[in-house]
Amino acid sequence: MALSASHPARPKEATGCLVMADGTVVWGKGFGAIGSAVGEVCFNTSITGYQEVLTDPSYAAQIVTFTFPHIGNVGTNEEDLESQVESAVGCIVREEVTPESNFRSEQHFAEWMAAHGKIGLSGIDTRAMTRLIRLQGAPNAVIAHDPGGNFDLDALKARAAQWSGLEGMDLAGLVTRDGRATWNGGAWALGKGYRTVGGEGLPHVVAFDYGAKNNIFRKLAEAGARVTVVPAKTSLEDVLELQPDGVFLSNGPGDPAATGEYAVPVVRGLLERDIPIFGICLGHQILALAAGAKTMKMFQGHRGANHPVQRVGGTWAENENLVEITSMNHGFAVDGETLPEGVVETHRSLFDGTNCGISITGKKAFGVQYHPEASPGPQDSFYLFEKFVGMLG
């Protein structure tokens, strides 16, 4: 169904809609949870991994448009969840979800969406939606599903328009875990599931959970670390008491600048004490803020599994110019123009030149804007986990 700002009448068969803050209404077929949810509409160009994308907490308060037309066709399973906490509120897809066809599937995608409280909208011209986001920026919108087809468009529009948007929003505090945990999950193998790794005597990584994807902790553990995961608001004293050999800063949702009250000062304290640090995505942004740089909301975020990133210097100079194909999911970025002295840009996006990595001169501290843990996505950047754990002790 085409996009229109003219409030087209509801087609008889429409059981779902997206209503944007400017009043644009898109009709489709609803699936998954019944009800409505507000969020920022983004697009993701990954061809595989919809279940991992939809359970990545970095997507909290977002509605994901999948550019790949067939979503849901391999069903869902319990193993491919990246978290159990709040994540994407819904998704927009081209084709109606078909019966699942995969030997690993345990549940139909639409049932899984319903069980996880996520709203789906199918039959949408996702190319037009993507073009709209590219040309106008990511809109705030309400996604709604009602099998009876009753929608109060004025109320939905008002809700979308009144929503504050992601800028300035602190969501990491919302999706983080409550308590401290020892992480010992490792790599997955067919028929065996996730293996158990870890143990005493290994370098100790204290990992902040700002809304982490499970595969990050698996990769750290597989690289040979003993991993203790701590909540987002853990104090500097509590981290130091755990005697970390290194500290990891995870991905997470919301505006990085909104973590300035809790995460940024703690990371500044860790930097002052020369504790090795590795940050991914939100963690990268927090590291940059702690080092004195600024972050900004991007006009268009980066979300997909084929984003080329070039190594441009810093501690990576030995492999300068090499390109990594990366998995990404971010709508904010470190402003490369604001890097203070002593903070070196290590990676840059080949799509738009935005900052994709930093390292801190004279310290074992670095971060990348992309997702080296993949899940979904290419595995070019797994080396970062080994690099970090190799620095410790």
Ligand X SMILES: NC(=O)CC[C@H](N)C(=O)O
Which residues are identified as catalytic? 281, 371, 373
Tokens of 248: 């990891």
Pairing, β 277-280 against β 181-183 = unpaired
Residues in region 276-305 near ligand X by CB under 6 A: 281-282
Q: Are 244 and 238 in contact (CB under 8 A)?
A: no
Query: Rounded to the nearest whole angstrom, what is the least distance from the CB of residue 11 to ligand X in the complex?
Result: 34
- Answer yes or no whether residue 58 interacts with ligand X by CB under 6 A: yes
Query: Rounded to the nearest whole angstrom, what is the least distance from the CB of residue 301 to ligand X in the complex?
Result: 6
Structure-token match 């003219």, residue found = 6
Quote the strand ranges of the chain, DSSP E.
16-20, 25-32, 35-44, 62-66, 90-92, 119-122, 140-145, 181-183, 185-189, 193-196, 204-209, 226-231, 246-249, 277-280, 295-311, 323-334, 343-349, 355-360, 365-368
Residues in region 332-361 near ligand X by CB under 6 A: 332
- Answer yes or no whether residue 130 interacts with ligand X by CB under 6 A: no
Binding window for ligand X (CB under 6 A); candidates: 120-128, 315-323, 325-333, 374-382: 325-333
282 annotated as a binding-site residue: yes
Q: Which is nearer to ligand X, 157 or 348 (CB)?
A: 348
Q: Which is nearer to ligand X, 14 or 89 (CB)?
A: 89
Cα(258)–Cα(114) distance, integer angstroms = 31
Cα(112)–Cα(288) distance, integer angstroms = 37
Q: Which is nearer to ligand X, 164 or 321 (CB)?
A: 164
Query: Rounded to the nearest whole angstrom, what is the least distance from the CB of residue 59 to ligand X in the complex?
Result: 8
Name which position in 215, 326, 329, 381 contacts ligand X (CB under 6 A). Answer: 329
Binding window for ligand X (CB under 6 A); candidates: 215-223, 323-331, 336-344, 384-392: 323-331
Q: Which is nearer to ligand X, 16 or 256 (CB)?
A: 256
Q: Which is nearer to ligand X, 140 or 251 (CB)?
A: 251
CB-hemisphere CA count at 13 Å for 373?
A: 27
Which among 95, 105, 36 is positioned nearest to 71, based on CA atoms? 95
Cα(246)–Cα(248) distance, integer angstroms = 7
Q: Which is nearer to ligand X, 58 or 176 (CB)?
A: 58
107 annotated as a binding-site residue: no
319 annotated as a binding-site residue: no
Q: Which residues contact 164 (CB under 8 A, 6 or more apart)?
A: none
Cα(376)–Cα(225) distance, integer angstroms = 23
- Answer yes or no whether residue 330 interacts with ligand X by CB under 6 A: yes
Which among 218, 298, 215, 219 is positioned nearest to 256, based on CA atoms? 298
331 annotated as a binding-site residue: yes
Query: Rounded to the nearest whole angstrom, what is the least distance from the CB of residue 325 to ligand X in the complex?
Result: 17
Binding window for ligand X (CB under 6 A); candidates: 184-192, 221-229, 330-338, 357-365: 330-338
Residues in region 169-228 near ligand X by CB under 6 A: none
- Answer yes or no whether residue 54 interacts with ligand X by CB under 6 A: no
Cα(367)–Cα(161) distance, integer angstroms = 35
68 annotated as a binding-site residue: no
Binding window for ligand X (CB under 6 A); candidates: 157-165, 326-334, 337-345, 379-387: 326-334
285 annotated as a binding-site residue: yes
Q: Which residues contact 182 (CB under 8 A, 6 or more apart)?
A: 198, 226, 227, 228, 229
Binding window for ligand X (CB under 6 A); candidates: 80-88, 195-203, 249-257, 378-386: 249-257
Task: With residue 21 as reference, give the H or E element that holds it.
Answer: none
Name which position in 186, 246, 331, 336 contacts ligand X (CB under 6 A). Answer: 331
- Residues contributing to the site for ligand X (CB under 6 A): 58, 251-254, 256, 281-282, 329-332
